[in-house]
Amino acid sequence: MTEPARKRLAERLRSARESAGISQDAVAQTLGVPRAAISQIEHGNRRVEAIELARLAKLYGKSLSYFADDGTSQEAKEFELLKRTTSELSDKDRGEVLRFAEFLRGRSPGINEK
């Protein structure tokens, strides 16, 4: 695996763990490895075994292809950022964000009409 690919995987693993609201300690216990190993994985300094990656994907509620993708589009990055940001809001505030997004969608031209 190339250095950029390893860094992309490390970032996705960290992001998926944070989005799932799981601590490094909890992940380490699930995998049966020291917490420092999870930190090293998330910084791209430790190789992730295939079986570990499968268990992490299941734990984080992601597909293996999410981690195996060779690049992330800007749209996917923005969607993930929006997801992470709104997950920290109250239910009421998330509802407000959804209503605002629906408002914007209603006044914007279709995707293919830009």
Q: How far is CA 83 from CA 60, 92, 102, in A?
A: 14, 15, 16
pLDDT at 26: 96
Average of per-residue pLDDT across 58-85? 78
Whether residues 35 and 81 share a domain: the answer is no
Whether residues 16 and 35 share a domain: the answer is yes
Average pLDDT, the chain: 86
Whichever domain contains 35, its CATH number is 1.10.260.40
- Split into its structural domains, the chain has a count of 2
Whether residues 79 and 26 share a domain: the answer is no
How confident is residue 114, by pLDDT bands cut at 50, 70 and 90?
A: very low
CA-wise closest residue to 23 among 38, 33, 11, 9: 38
Whether residues 55 and 14 share a domain: the answer is yes
How confident is residue 86, by pLDDT bands cut at 50, 70 and 90?
A: confident
Residue 19 belongs to domain spanning: 3-68
How confident is residue 112, by pLDDT bands cut at 50, 70 and 90?
A: very low
Whether residues 9 and 64 share a domain: the answer is yes
Q: What is the 3-state secondary structure (H, E, C) of 39-84?
A: HHHHCCCCCCCHHHHHHHHHHHCCCHHHHHCCCCCHHHHHHHHHHH
For residue 73, pLDDT over 90 is answered with no
